Structure 1
Amino acid sequence: MPHAESPTPTTRGRALGVYVHVPFCSVRCGYCDFNTYTADELGEGATRASYADTAIGEIVASGPAGGGRPVETVFFGGGTPTQLPAGDLVRMLRAVDDSFGLLDGAEVTTEANPDSVTPQSLATLRAGGFNRISFGVQSAVPHVLATLERTHDPAGVPQAVRWAREAGFEQVSVDLIYGTPGESMDDWRTSLEQAVALEPDHVSAYALIVEQGTAFARKVRRGEVVMPDDDETADKYLLADDLLTEAGLGWYELSNWARDEAAQCRHNLLYWHSDDWFGIGPGAHSHVAGERWWNVKHPAAYAQRLAADGSARHDGESIDAATAHVERIMLETRLRSGLSVSALGDGARSQVPDLLDRDLVTLGDDRLVLTRTGRLLADAVVRQLVD
């Protein structure tokens, strides 16, 4: 696959990425509020067989708006991108390269469920330019997976990871969820220990959030399941940090740990640094040059809009300086690299001594960085800096 020349540091400017949304899942998990659909929820014009060609149409139409900047990261998310044939994912990636230009050494990720890949599909993806894969493992404990309505057998995860390594993927990431109702500390320790045993380059561990409008939220409201309290959730975060750190994975964002700097997810860092990205697919969001916009959500409407107008854009907004400032504080505070104190206003800077006294942050080289205690109270720290 041809690649664009790498820009010099003085000409690079804001990094550019592409997110490709694949809205298909074999089963819709009750806790999920992502824009995803099972096959029987979709009508004509939104089939898996036709999806790649539809998305390629949007990629081709979006390319000129990239302004000639090569793409540094591509991320296929969902849904489960690997519900589509590997060849279709490769065709979409090729369209990104043809329309935007891929930077030499670009990070190209696909999410995958452990039971949605084969040695053959992984080999096709790797040969087609994918170099990073993120497996949605969530838990290694069957009863926890059942509560989450995940369909894969945890016993098959090591095999999927081995296949990815054998196919030549440079980076393998594992996604975990903690705080599921009924999950004990021992259950969570088991999931962490089995994740570490996979020797991943990267681990994401997120607390389960009850999203309004989901089946899971309705169960909580009816008292059918009980969410853990904040102290238990904090203890599980600390356990994750302990075990992952002992395994040589360092935190670089509140919920993400990596083997080294090269293993950090460059695409997510692009989000956290408020760089630019184009979102492809139904419901996908874009953020370019101070403008944010998003596509129509339903896959059938998405396909129809593209066919009729050449654009699936639903709405958008301009990001003013005040909003950009608040978002910078919210996002960069989450990072181990921290937030520049000089970027704060006088009111926020006046809060720094209190945050230092309470051992919520450290300060060095003009960077405000959360302590371990501060990570547990990150939202409160952000509120103090924003207010």
Structure 2
Amino acid sequence: MPVDGALPPHALAGAGDRPLGFYLHVPYCATRCGYCDFNTYTASELRGTGGVLASRDNYADTLVEEIRLARKVLGGDPRPVTTVFVGGGTPTLLPAADLARMLGAVREEFGLAEDAEITTEANPESVDPAYLSELRAGGFNRVSFGMQSARQHVLKVLDRTHTPGRPEACVAEARAAGFEHVNLDLIYGTPGESDDDWRASLDAAIGAGPDHVSAYALIVEEGTQLARRIRRGEVPMTDDDVHADRYLIADEVLASAGFDWYEVSNWARSEAGRCVHNELYWRGADWWGAGPGAHSHVGGVRWWNVKHPGAYAAALAEGRSPGAGREVLPDEDRRVERVLLELRLREGCPLDLLRPAGLAASRRALEDGLLEPGPYDAGRAVLTLRGRLLADAVVRDLVD
């Protein structure tokens, strides 16, 4: 990784034909959820490991420095930014003014498209009506709340600290603050969760009135507290068959409430309700990820930052790129990534991306009811509902 973060000239070739987004990572959490393996830190985990450089008090200033670095690296790139997504961690542990200042730096250095989507994630217990109003006034127009479940015993297994009902109240508060687009994140397959629990969570989420719902199967990552509890036999291991059943329930309940799937784990009430920022990832566009551990991609060049907030801040303070490493993706890797990402979308992936072995596998998938026949005849591989349940297996066959 060059000290100044410079990109090879080919990375910006044809950039005008690709949208540009920013991901701004805020690595702080009040507590650590038992299932989480993201690059996040609680106050106790940072104590004594970076001093003032790791503090969240001046974090916004540090991240603004990386946005300014991005302007230098991208040089005369004229593209306005089409999406900004502030994620974490818990971004809303920072003052709303800090998030607005980070967004302001993107606006100042690059400009924002007229219809730019500006999102922040939020934990339900970390916001109130005044905070949400300040975010809206600062330029944010979309908010994503981590609901996960409507059942207290499920939240307890996940080590979530909010109380049932609070995420639904947050949706109402966000609407009152002027947010047009609101997402609720749900997790299914938590040990101890029943079908009735999952239906109750879906009903509560829909009843709150968001225009977007994300539903993800719980993945038990090694090194997490939940993985250790399962290994000790305190809670049962998650079950793939249960995950499949819960997914079918989700699709049925959400569809009946007017939500259409547009990516395997995401449903929206309308095309305008889709998460444009995530679509940017799924379609292989360009994005700059600012913050500790954040990943970026521009024109087939992918890089990632150092993980620790102290090391990240130190690099920027010294005028160095915080990048830890990078790779230039060969054409074949980019093709494979397009297949595995675009196949997850409602529009599917073009069949002309497939090699002969993958094309033969796609014909078998069509015969097995895993791909839709109409789009296939039109030159695209689009997953059926059954295909969505087996998406990973289908992708493995089609990328050959």
Same fold (TM over 0.5): yes
Q: 2:39 aligns with which of 35, 39, 42?
A: 35
Question: How far apart are 1:364 and its partner, in Å?
Answer: 3.8
Structure 1 residue identity aligned to 2:353: A
Asked whether the equivalents of residues 171 and 209 of structure 2 are also in contact (C-alpha less than 8 Å), the reply is no
Structure 2 residue identity aligned to 1:340: P
Structure 2 residue identity aligned to 1:324: R
Q: 1:327 aligns with which of 337, 342, 345?
A: 337
Q: Aligned residue for 2:390?
A: 377
Q: Aligned residue for 1:5?
A: none
Structure 1, unpaired ranges of 5+ = 1-9
Sequence identity of aligned pairs in percent? 58
Aligned counterparts, 1:359-374, within 5 A:
359-362=369-372, 363-374=376-387
Structure 2, unpaired ranges of 5+ = 1-13
Write the distance in 1 (CA, Å) between the matches of 2:98 and 2:377. Answer: 48
Write the distance in 2 (CA, Å) between the matches of 1:190 and 1:352. Answer: 37
Q: Aligned residue for 1:300?
A: 310
Q: Aligned residue for 2:272?
A: 262
Q: What TM-score, normalized by structure 2, do the two folds share?
A: 0.93
CA RMSD in angstroms comes to: 1.2
Say if 2:151 is the partner of 1:141.
Answer: yes
Question: Cα gap change, 1:194/1:308 in structure 2, threshold over 3 Å: closer, same or farther?
Answer: same
| DSSP-derived class of the 2:190 partner | coil
Of the structure 1 ranges 125-134 and 41-50, higher mean CA displacement relative to structure 2 is found in: 41-50
Asked whether the equivalents of residues 149 and 201 of structure 2 are also in contact (C-alpha less than 8 Å), the reply is yes
Question: How far apart are 1:99 and its partner, in Å?
Answer: 1.0
Question: How far apart are 1:299 and its partner, in Å?
Answer: 0.4
Say if 2:212 is the partner of 1:202.
Answer: yes
Aligned length in residues: 378
Q: What TM-score, normalized by structure 1, do the two folds share?
A: 0.96
Question: How far apart are 1:304 and its partner, in Å?
Answer: 0.7
Q: Aligned residue for 2:320?
A: 310
Deviation string, structure 1 residues 294-319 (Cα, Å, up to 9, x no partner): 10000011111111133211111000
Aligned counterparts, 1:123-142, within 5 A:
123-142=133-152
Asked whether the equivalents of residues 383 and 391 of structure 2 are also in contact (C-alpha less than 8 Å), the reply is yes
Asked whether the equivalents of residues 61 and 310 of structure 1 are also in contact (C-alpha less than 8 Å), the reply is no
Deviation string, structure 1 residues 166-213 (Cα, Å, up to 9, x no partner): 110110000000010000111111100100101110000000001111
Question: How far apart are 1:12 and its partner, in Å?
Answer: 4.3
Q: Aligned residue for 2:22?
A: 18
Structure 2 residue identity aligned to 1:383: R
Structure 2 residue identity aligned to 1:285: H
Asked whether the equivalents of residues 358 and 397 of structure 2 are also in contact (C-alpha less than 8 Å), the reply is yes
Structure 2 residue identity aligned to 1:384: D
| DSSP-derived class of the 2:140 partner | coil
Question: How far apart are 1:374 and its partner, in Å?
Answer: 0.3
Asked whether the equivalents of residues 169 and 208 of structure 2 are also in contact (C-alpha less than 8 Å), the reply is no
Of the structure 1 ranges 307-316 and 24-33, higher mean CA displacement relative to structure 2 is found in: 307-316
Deviation string, structure 1 residues 72-116 (Cα, Å, up to 9, x no partner): 000000001001000000000000011111111100000001111
| DSSP-derived class of the 1:182 partner | coil
Write the distance in 1 (CA, Å) between the matches of 2:371 and 2:73. Answer: 40
Question: Cα gap change, 1:70/1:350 in structure 2, threshold over 3 Å: closer, same or farther?
Answer: same
Question: How far apart are 1:277 and its partner, in Å?
Answer: 0.3
Write the distance in 2 (CA, Å) between the matches of 1:307 and 1:251. Answer: 44
Aligned counterparts, 1:36-55, within 5 A:
36-42=40-46, 43-44=50-51, 45-55=53-63
Question: How far apart are 1:11 and its partner, in Å?
Answer: 8.6
Q: 1:155 aligns with which of 165, 168, 178?
A: 165
Asked whether the equivalents of residues 109 and 133 of structure 1 are also in contact (C-alpha less than 8 Å), the reply is yes
Asked whether the equivalents of residues 19 and 277 of structure 1 are also in contact (C-alpha less than 8 Å), the reply is yes
Runs of 4 or more consecutive aligned structure 1 residues displaced over 3 Å after TM superposition? none
Say if 2:180 is the partner of 1:170.
Answer: yes
